[in-house]
């Protein structure tokens, strides 16, 4: 129901099951004891041209996950060029001198593999999953398109239609996506996280070959990239292959430090009300500006992760129990913490009103839950259960090789370190009850928030009448 437009996946031939980057997905890690055949720690080294390499050995099956992460995303776009990072991600599937246009994914497929890519505010990533013996092939291909992309006017025109259609189907045809987009725009008054990854339609229509090549030539270079290989390989094998492929690419010595405008101190609570005949039930969402793992004071992000697990995750969460089970005012309700951003994070809560429940009543209940945790904290039992749930999730997470690869890649791409990833479980264990109440009080503050209300209206009422934008009047 609730869409978080932080990442936009490419429509490549093979679609992957893509686990959210929100919450723990980015930072959870197996502990050394839990699984045989998986190295407890990743190995990190750099090539001479500045490219970072992370190797996670996993010998359970003769397959590898190969990812290249670029330290560039939608938040690095210049004004009026929104969507260019994601557009370029699509265009990387065109050709080079070696690979005819449109053949990249077909070659991977013919070799029994799968591939895809995604773009976020802080990163663009490409990945393949192939049998071990095909790793040299994909490394050669990925290293090739890092610097040798060939684009034609026709590629740009064709693919621009694709991204525009992607925007129409994913955002413009979906009121809850429109609302999320508007809420992000209201949450960030200056920082580019307020601009959608997919881009504003008017900007997208004008993206051209020169824009794409300019962005590509500046940001796609080994010294702006991280290679992550997880699977049935060892460090020396990967090092040798990486030197033979990516190692041949020249660095961009003019790579500039991205200079994103900082977000001013939050001043005023904001609301966004979207009335749409296509909406189903009335929905309330709220975002609070919060720090990310990279910007928080020590321990705060871990506390926020635990807090929001207790408050909003699943059917045993405080929000769900209060709103759906006890009061029966919502058919669905929950919350989350997104701590993976380079420059800031977010807390989110939401509820879908049940039956004829006025949306204000649902919002009031949501507020009561939040006020209660800020005023009275949570219980030790809840904290223990949330922490144990996270620990269990790491273990389950080990079953997914690609998830392991993403943990490291997503941390490193935003400026984190291997150590940040690997020390996370220990840091989580140090969080105490008071920490949760403290971050609740500090960040669940109305001036940090944007509330979004989605209201179904009869079709003929759309675009009618001047009126207040207050939800209560509709």
Residues 202-221 that bind a copy of itself (CB under 8 A): 202-203
Query: Rounded distance, CA 118 to CA 69, Å?
Result: 10
Contacts of 367 (CB under 8 A, 6+ apart): none
Residue number, 112 or 261, with CB nearest to a copy of itself: 261
Question: DSSP secondary-structure letter at 78?
Answer: P
Q: Which stretch binds a copy of itself (CB under 8 A): 20-28, 238-246, 414-422, 445-453?
A: 445-453
In whole angstroms, give the CA distance from residue 402 to residue 397.
9
Report the distance separating Cα 238 and Cα 405, nearest Å.
14
Token pair for 296: 């928080």
327 binds a copy of itself (CB under 8 A): no
Question: Which residue in 77, 89, 181, 300 is the catalytic one?
Answer: 89
Q: Which is nearer to a copy of itself, 80 or 100 (CB)?
A: 80
The one segment of 50-58, 122-130, 362-370, 411-419 that binds a copy of itself by CB under 8 A: 362-370
48 vs 465 by CB, closer to a copy of itself: 465
The separation between CA 348 and the C-alpha centre of its own chain, rounded to angstroms, equals: 14
Comparing CB distances to a copy of itself, the nearer of 87 and 394 is 87
Q: Give me the helices (H) in 337-398, please.
A: 359-376, 380-397
Which segment (60-68, 186-194, 212-220, 378-386) binds a copy of itself by CB under 8 A? 186-194
Phi, psi torsion values for 53, nearest 5 degrees: -130, 135
User: Does 460 participate in binding a copy of itself (rule CB under 8 A)?
Assistant: no
Q: Is 382 a catalytic residue?
A: no
Q: In angstroms, what is the minimal distance from the CB of 189 to a copy of itself?
A: 4
Find where tokens 């291997």 sit: 418
- Kind plus residue range of the DSSP H or E element containing 254: none
Distance CA 468, CA 451 (A): 16
Q: Around 261, how many Cα atoms within 13 Å sit in the side-chain half-sphere?
A: 14
Distances (CA, A) of 2 to 5, 88, 164, 279, 453: 10, 27, 22, 12, 12
Strand partners, 64: 130, 231
Of residues 472, 274, 251, the one with CA closest to residue 359 = 472
* Contact code string over 72-101 relative to a copy of itself, x by CB under 8 A: ------xxx-x-------------------
Scanning 136-144, 223-231, 431-439, 466-474 for contacts with a copy of itself by CB under 8 A, the matching segment is 466-474
- x-or-dash string of contact with a copy of itself, 254-293, rule CB under 8 A: -----xxxx-x--xxxxxxxxx------------------
* The one among 192, 334, 341, 345 contacting a copy of itself by CB under 8 A: 192
Contact 437, 370 (CB under 8 A): no
Site for a copy of itself in 381-440 (CB under 8 A): 440
Size of the site for a copy of itself (CB under 8 A): 63
With CB under 8 A as the contact rule, the residue among 155, 363, 420, 422 that binds a copy of itself is: 363
Closer residue to a copy of itself (CB): 13 or 456: 456
Measure CA 58 to chain center.
Answer: 25
State the minimum distance, in angstroms, from the CB of residue 70 to a copy of itself. 20
Task: Report the greatest alpha carbon distance in the chain.
Answer: 69
* List of residues contacting a copy of itself (CB under 8 A): 78-80, 82, 178-179, 181-182, 185-186, 189-190, 192, 194-195, 200-203, 259-262, 264, 267-275, 360, 363-364, 366-367, 370-371, 374-375, 440-441, 444-447, 449-452, 463-473
Q: Which residues are catalytic?
A: 89
């Amino acid at each position: 129901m609730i869409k978080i437009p932080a990442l936009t996946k490419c429509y490549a031939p093979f679609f992957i099951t893509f686990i959210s980057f929100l919450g723990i997905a980015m930072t959870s890690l197996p502990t050394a004891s839990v699984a045989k055949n998986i190295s407890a720690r990743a190995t990190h080294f750099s090539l001479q041209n500045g490219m970072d390499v992370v190797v996670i050995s996993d010998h359970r099956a003769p397959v590898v996950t190969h990812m290249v992460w670029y330290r560039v995303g939608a938040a690095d776009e210049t004004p009026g060029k929104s969507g260019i990072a994601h557009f370029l991600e699509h265009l990387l599937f065109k050709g080079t001198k070696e690979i005819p246009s449109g053949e990249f994914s077909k070659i991977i497929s013919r070799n029994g593999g799968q591939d895809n890519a995604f773009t976020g505010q802080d990163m663009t990533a490409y990945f393949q999953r192939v049998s071990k013996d095909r790793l040299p092939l994909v490394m050669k291909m990925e290293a090739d398109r890092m610097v040798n992309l060939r684009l034609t006017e026709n590629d740009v025109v064709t693919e621009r239609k694709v991204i525009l259609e992607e925007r129409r189907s994913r955002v413009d045809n979906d009121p809850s996506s429109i609302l999320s987009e508007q809420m992000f725009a209201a949450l960030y008054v200056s920082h580019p996280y307020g601009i959608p990854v997919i881009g504003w339609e008017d900007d997208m229509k004008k993206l051209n070959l020169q824009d794409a090549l300019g962005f590509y030539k500046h940001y796609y270079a080994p010294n702006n990239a991280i290679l992550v290989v997880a699977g049935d390989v060892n460090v020396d094998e990967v090092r040798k292959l990486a030197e033979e492929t990516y190692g041949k690419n020249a660095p961009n010595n003019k790579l500039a430090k991205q200079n994103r405008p900082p977000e001013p101190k939050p001043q005023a609570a904001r609301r966004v009300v979207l009335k749409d005949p296509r909406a189903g039930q009335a929905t309330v969402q709220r975002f609070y500006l919060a720090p990310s793992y990279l910007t928080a004071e020590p321990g705060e992000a871990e506390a926020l992760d635990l807090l929001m697990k207790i408050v909003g995750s699943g059917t045993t969460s405080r929000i769900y129990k209060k709103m759906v089970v006890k009061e029966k005012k919502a058919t669905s309700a929950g919350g989350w913490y997104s701590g993976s951003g380079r420059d800031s994070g977010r807390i989110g809560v939401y509820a879908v009103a049940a039956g004829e429940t006025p949306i204000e009543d649902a919002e009031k209940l949501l507020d009561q839950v939040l006020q209660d945790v800020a005023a009275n904290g949570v219980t030790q039992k809840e904290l223990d259960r949330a922490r144990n749930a996270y620990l269990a999730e790491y273990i389950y997470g080990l079953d997914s090789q690609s998830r392991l690869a993403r943990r490291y890649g997503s941390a490193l791409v935003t400026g984190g370190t291997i150590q940040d990833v690997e020390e996370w479980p220990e840091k989580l264990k140090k969080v105490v009850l008071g920490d949760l109440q403290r971050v609740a009080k500090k960040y669940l503050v109305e001036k940090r928030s944007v509330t979004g209300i989605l209201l179904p209206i009869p079709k003929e009422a759309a675009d009618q009448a001047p009126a207040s934008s207050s939800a209560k009047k509709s």
